[in-house]
């Protein structure tokens, strides 16, 4: 890959990392600030309240996907990426200064809710703009490898969040963390977003967009997307199992290990941190593999593994008891999930033509995340509160099984020419083109 391609991937990934740092630190620090905004009830009830607001952010993602996807298709990928990081910076500032229940009653929870709505708008557009940018910025034979850096940067953002949590756990008292320490990551996120805003203002637009994106009058419109409704429904279906599994083993894992498995919070955080470091390193390897053998084999491997292994993995995690067994099981789960995360960005981008690519990825993906990814943690806590925690394991496995059917029936997307709708492949076989 050339220097310009690497530069585009670096700028896109750096911004994505900060975006997802801000998004994930809410989940990572929820155990510390839940009582500040919702003082009534037991620990599970408080976490359910904060998880509910976390889920609300996901329900704004379809709106963000529509608005920012339209910007990305009509004004360019650069314009959309710059706008998303601006919204995320504003939301981080709001959470950092939100008043607690003791100061403003439930007014603080309202501020928290508004901040999550802004985050939902931002991330709803960020995923698609980033997926589209990274896919278009790479050479055809390296699209899987290049787009895998989306989840590298997403995971890096969460690793930084967990690392900061671990640092604060070791340097501040538990009382200080509950009182004010939880505000620190949101201040850091706001500052990081300001730096990325500068980087993105100077980033380069993709050649694919510059060559073919500006000559379509209806680009970025719902009417143009409706012409590709089959691909849009395909994005929802293929996302379902992957997003539930991803959020189960990333954002929810730390709380599961501490709230259900009984591990100390620092130990649970360290398990998540170590597992995510390995997970991030696996993404480019799997992405490169998909450039050689295709996308479908990896997706199918994920779905089969998640369908068959989720129940035993979560059951054994609940009884892990110490660091090493918990880490081993977490790594096994994330290795399985890698089959989805490493390539799902480019698969979705490869389904749509340039003029509707950002919107085509953004809106259906955001809808799937609102229905399944954003609610995963809340569903898990609901099962626990109802006394049937094992039911959540079957829920995750069932979602993976549904996506497995989709992966088995969908066509290969690896060899599509991004610049032409229904074009011939870029030098490989003509068979197994995506549905159009």
Q: Give the C-alpha distances (Å, rounded to integers) separating 312 from 298, 319, 385.
A: 21, 11, 21
Q: Which two tokens stand for residue 55?
A: 């889920």
- Opening angle at CA 273, ends 15 and 189, nearest 5: 35
Q: Which residue has the tokens 């989805």?
A: 340
- Confidence (pLDDT) at 395: 97
Q: What is the DSSP string of 30-44?
A: HHHHHHHH--SS-HH
Closest by Cα among 21, 290, 264, 286 to 158: 21
64: three-class secondary structure by DSSP: helix
Averaged pLDDT, groups of 10, the chain, 436 residues long: 73 79 81 78 68 76 92 91 90 90 83 88 87 88 92 90 87 91 93 87 82 70 93 95 94 89 90 94 97 97 98 95 96 97 95 93 90 86 91 97 96 87 42 38
CB 138 within 8 A of CB 146: yes
At residue 60, the 3 state secondary structure works out as: coil
Q: How far apart are CA 353 and CA 358, in angstroms?
A: 9
What is the rounded CA–CA span in Å between residue 275 and residue 258? Answer: 16
> CA dihedral in degrees (18, 20, 21, 24; nearest 10)?
170
CA distance readout (Å), 207 to 43, 210, 211, 266, 425: 51, 5, 6, 46, 18
| 8 Å CB contact between 93 and 192 | no
Question: Would you state the pLDDT for residue 214?
Answer: 53
Residue 431: what pLDDT?
39
Residue 380's pLDDT is 93
* Cα–Cα distance, 364 to 32 (Å, whole number): 33
What contacts 367, CB < 8 A, 6 or more positions away? 62, 65, 236
Q: How many helices (H) and strands (E) does the chain have?
A: 22, 0
Q: Are 381 and 44 in contact (CB under 8 A)?
A: yes
Strand residues in 315-392 grouped as ranges (E): none
Q: Of all helices (H) and strands (E), which one includes residue 140?
A: none
pLDDT at residue number 1: 63
List the structure tokens of 179. Answer: 């009182």
pLDDT of residue 436: 33
């Amino acid at each position: 890959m050339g220097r310009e391609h690497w530069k585009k991937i670096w700028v896109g990934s750096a911004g994505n990392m900060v975006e997802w740092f801000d998004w994930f630190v809410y989940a990572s620090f929820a155990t510390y600030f839940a009582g500040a905004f919702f003082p009534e009830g037991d620990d599970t009830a408080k976490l359910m309240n904060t998880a509910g607001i976390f889920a609300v952010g996901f329900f704004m993602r379809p709106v963000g996907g529509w608005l920012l996807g339209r910007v990305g298709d009509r004004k360019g990928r650069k314009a959309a990426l710059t706008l998303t990081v601006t919204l995320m910076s504003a939301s981080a500032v709001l959470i950092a200064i939100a008043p607690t229940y003791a100061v403003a009653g439930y007014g603080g929870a309202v501020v928290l809710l508004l901040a999550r709505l802004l985050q939902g708008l931002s991330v709803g557009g960020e995923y698609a703009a980033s997926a589209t940018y990274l896919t278009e910025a790479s050479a055809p034979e390296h699209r899987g490898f290049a787009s895998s850096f989306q989840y590298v940067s997403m995971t890096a953002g969460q690793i930084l969040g967990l690392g900061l949590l671990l640092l604060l756990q070791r340097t501040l008292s538990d009382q200080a963390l509950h009182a004010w320490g939880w505000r620190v990551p949101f201040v850091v996120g706001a500052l990081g977003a300001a730096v990325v805003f500068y980087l993105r203002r100077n980033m380069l637009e993709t050649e694919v967009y510059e060559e073919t994106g500006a000559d379509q009058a209806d680009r970025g419109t719902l009417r143009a997307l409706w012409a590709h409704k089959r691909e849009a429904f395909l994005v929802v279906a293929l996302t379902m199992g992957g997003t539930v599994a991803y959020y189960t083993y990333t954002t929810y894992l730390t709380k599961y290990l501490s709230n259900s498995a009984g591990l100390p919070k620092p130990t649970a955080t360290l398990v998540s941190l170590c597992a995510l470091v390995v997970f991030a390193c696996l993404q480019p390897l799997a992405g490169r593999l998909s450039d050689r053998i295709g996308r479908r084999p990896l997706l199918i491997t994920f779905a089969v593994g998640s369908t068959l292994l989720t129940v035993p993995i979560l059951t054994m995690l609940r009884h892990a008891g110490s660091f090493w067994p918990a880490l081993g099981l977490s790594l096994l789960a994330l290795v399985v999930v890698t089959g989805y995360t490493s390539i799902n960005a480019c698969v979705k981008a490869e389904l749509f033509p340039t003029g509707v690519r950002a919107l085509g990825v953004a809106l259906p993906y955001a809808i799937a995340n609102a229905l399944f990814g954003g609610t995963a943690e809340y569903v898990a806590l609901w099962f626990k509160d109802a006394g049937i925690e094992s039911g959540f394991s079957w829920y995750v496995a069932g979602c993976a099984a549904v996506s497995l059917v989709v992966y088995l029936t969908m066509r290969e997307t690896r060899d599509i020419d991004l610049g032409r709708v229904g074009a011939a492949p870029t030098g490989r076989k003509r068979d197994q083109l995506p549905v159009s």
